Chain A
Amino acid sequence: MAPRKKTPAGATPATKTADGGATAGEAGVIGERDRVTLQKITDLAFNALAEVRRGKNPALSIPVRALSNVSFDQEAGLIRLGESRQSRNFFHLKQAKLFMQTFLIAEHCKKLIEAGATTSIRDIYYGAKHSVAGTKENTFEEQAESDPIIEDLEVTIDALREELHLRAENRGAMVGPMTIRDTGDTIDLRRMGSGGWSIPSIVEDNRIEFMKTEAEYILFIEKGAVWARLNEDRFWQKNNCMLLHGSGMAARGTRRLLRRMHEELKLPVYVLTDNDPWGFYIYSVIKQGSINLAYESMRMAVPQARFLGLMSSDAERFNLQPNVSMALKDEDSARIEQLMRYDWFAAKRWQEELALMKKTQKKYELEALSSRGIRFITEEYIPQKLRGRRGDSWLD
């Protein structure tokens, strides 16, 4: 069951599967979970109206999604959202438009829920985009404007993205010895060809069900190219593992799927990324959650995930030649400094790895391992890492 920060009354996990979901077939029938979400949106609007009727400046109280308002829960291994909230007022030069946009998104989400439809966040951007009455100005100029508003709405009314009937584009892929049911269709993840099963944005149990698996662990790979190499070698078959990639930073769907498989199927998660601060951070997001989505850490993070590399110390360990390295750029160095200050990178081994990267001024892509041979990664690197000791071969 998906853990929630706060479980709103009426939306208990038990009722979720039964009520939730917004498949086309259920259109017009509003379930309990949707009813709660609708009520939250309506309350938000009535509150603003009540304030303004008293001559006051209507305000939305939005939890702050920034480093200043997250804390690292050492015990749970999670990044948690703090208590501070910021006020978004309508009668404010710089907030008026944001305030209006928030209600525009809320209005569209309400319509989606009532229609029992789900759209992508790109759809809602187009749906809510129009010119502001009497001007040439648009309600939203680009999707980059509406995306954070959606997140604001999620945290403000404490509703999940799927509860707002929104999804992102599919991102990332999975193959492996497992059968799943995806919105009614049974899919054998062993027979996905070279592209794999594309991971959707919403992977809740009402849509994705895990049927049968022989997998013993999950290997998450940052890059699609390296994942393709492993898939070509049928690495998952030989090693009995689920093989995922996130096309870079893992999207919500991918993270939620990792979490569910880890939790429901009791599979350990291993992460393989480039050796650079960005790769390190992708790992940390899978493991502890992100600053921006700290309110969803609890249902997305896999605190037991392990980092297989590349580590800076792997260069020596696997005898990588200097000519396969890349020089750090200024932005890389700055990012290293930032990571070194994050509480969830405070562990000694991580500080050592970051310090080493800083000292050598070198980074390595996963593909650098191919310099040791085409199958080096599948036949030597990963098996050796999986067998090795904590702190040496892999990091927490």
Chain B
Amino acid sequence: MTDKVSIVIVSHSSEVAKGAADMVRQMVGDDVAIASCGGNSEGGLGTDVAAIMQAIDAVWSPKGVAVLVDLGGAETNSEMAIELLGPDKAKQIVICNAPVVEGAVMAATEAAGGSDLEAVRQTAEDFKA
């Protein structure tokens, strides 16, 4: 169990999600738990509610989880996954309105410093290319 905010990356493509997570790990190290998930339940492009729930659970932190998503369906499916995890956990999860790769790096950098979930979200969302 981690004492920092964790990061979950959700993309339509498992390769994009995994690649983004690799970049974050290389840039901020292993202090912050990062999970990635992408692809629909058949392995094609898309997102999978059950996989998103598992990814969030895999890096669950009492300090919260910041979720970065790419396109529409990733966001809607992530919102659904958060709701299905139940109200107690849902309070501790936010979806950041930020580009997936840059947002994940910024969020993880902020999380590595021990910031709370709201600060992590702010930093990710303040990012401007």
To the question of whether A and B form a pair in one complex, the answer is no
CB within 8 Å of B: which residues of A? none
